[in-house]
């Protein structure tokens, strides 16, 4: 009698945990789908978010090639500066979209939607993961759209390279979206978020190697570039698009990092940002 009675009772906690996991999984999907749906319906956002990377590609690519022609030719060899710049511009689209996707948290807080989400039977971690996955998906799509320019610039692609690029773009976007959520969780106004993000994004972008090779830099700048997470996204993207000869890898202690090592560093940064974002979300709200 005792064993029979304990059997169903012992399964109740397991069923409860399973039901909780399924509820959180559905919540993650719904929040992810909401972010993707908002992006798909907002055509103005799509066009404007692509305008800045294209402007950088055309203006900086053409302007700096004309101004620094001899030096660039010596540094890059047979590769034009516009082609060298292209992977950095793809990373730029991912960076800006990923970080600023976290502004939806501040927006939802101001208009009350976030309060409704938080009173639902859903863990705070599920909310953060859903937001991060949604922002990462949108940022990956932004970067993928720019890949249509590859044939025009003389960059060859194949399905395997495209799949690897999409994986790198998603991983980079997930790390940066998690960082944006960490910051957004502590802010109450969109203006403050935009100011802080602009202060962080431009140095991260310019020091990532998007505009110049990470070789022959002053010691202090070399150290900063190694601390920039975006550099570990730009470097493998350039290696996939242009080849290992032009992008031998970020050098740390006389060792050039490979694509897998760059991805592992990005994954570690993403994990740290996600844990901190969940902690900030739980303690702030």
Per-residue pLDDT tens digits for 129-168 = 888 999 899 999 988 988 888 888 888 888 999 999 999 9
Per-residue pLDDT tens digits for 73-92 = 555 556 677 788 888 889 88
Pinpoint the alpha helices (H) of the chain.
2-41, 43-55, 61-67, 69-76, 81-101, 103-111, 113-118, 124-146, 159-184, 190-206, 219-227, 231-242, 259-284
Scored b (16 or more CB within 10 A) or e, 178-191 reads bbbbbbbbebeebe
Per-residue pLDDT tens digits for 231-285 = 999 989 988 888 766 666 677 777 778 888 889 999 999 999 999 988 887 776 5
Between CA 131 and CA 32 the distance in angstroms is: 6
> Whole-prediction pTM value?
0.84
Domain map of the chain by residue range? 13-284
> How far does the chain reach from its first CA to its final CA, in angstroms?
48
Per-residue pLDDT tens digits for 3-54 = 444 555 545 567 677 676 777 788 788 888 888 888 777 776 677 667 777 7
């Amino acid at each position: 009698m005792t064993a029979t009675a304990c059997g169903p009772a012992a399964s109740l906690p397991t069923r409860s945990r399973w039901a909780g996991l399924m509820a959180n999984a559905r919540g993650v999907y719904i929040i992810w789908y909401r972010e993707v749906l908002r992006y798909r319906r907002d055509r103005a956002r799509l066009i404007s978010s692509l305008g800045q990377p294209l402007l950088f590609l055309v203006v900086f690519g053409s302007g700096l090639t004309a101004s620094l022609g001899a030096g660039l030719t010596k540094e890059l060899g047979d590769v034009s500066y516009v082609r060298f710049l292209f992977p950095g511009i793809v990373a730029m689209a991912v960076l800006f979209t990923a970080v600023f996707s976290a502004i939806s948290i501040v927006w939802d807080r101001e208009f009350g939607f976030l309060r409704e989400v938080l009173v639902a039977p859903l863990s705070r971690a599920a909310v953060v993961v859903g937001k991060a996955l949604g922002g990462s998906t949108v940022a990956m799509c932004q970067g993928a759209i720019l890949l249509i320019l590859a044939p025009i610039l003389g960059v060859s692609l194949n399905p395997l390279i495209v799949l690897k690029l999409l994986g790198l773009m998603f991983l980079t976007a997930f790390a940066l979206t998690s960082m944006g959520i960490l910051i957004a969780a502590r802010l109450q106004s969109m203006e403050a978020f935009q100011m802080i993000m602009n202060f962080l994004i431009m140095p991260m972008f310019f020091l990532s190697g998007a505009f110049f090779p990470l070789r022959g830099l002053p010691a202090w700048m070399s150290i900063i570039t190694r601390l920039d997470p975006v550099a570990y996204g730009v470097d493998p993207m350039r290696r996939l698009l242009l080849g290992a000869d032009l992008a031998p890898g970020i050098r740390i202690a006389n060792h050039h990092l490979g694509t897998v090592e760059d991805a592992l560093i990005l994954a570690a940064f993403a994990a740290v940002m996600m844990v901190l974002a969940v902690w900030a979300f739980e303690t702030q709200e």
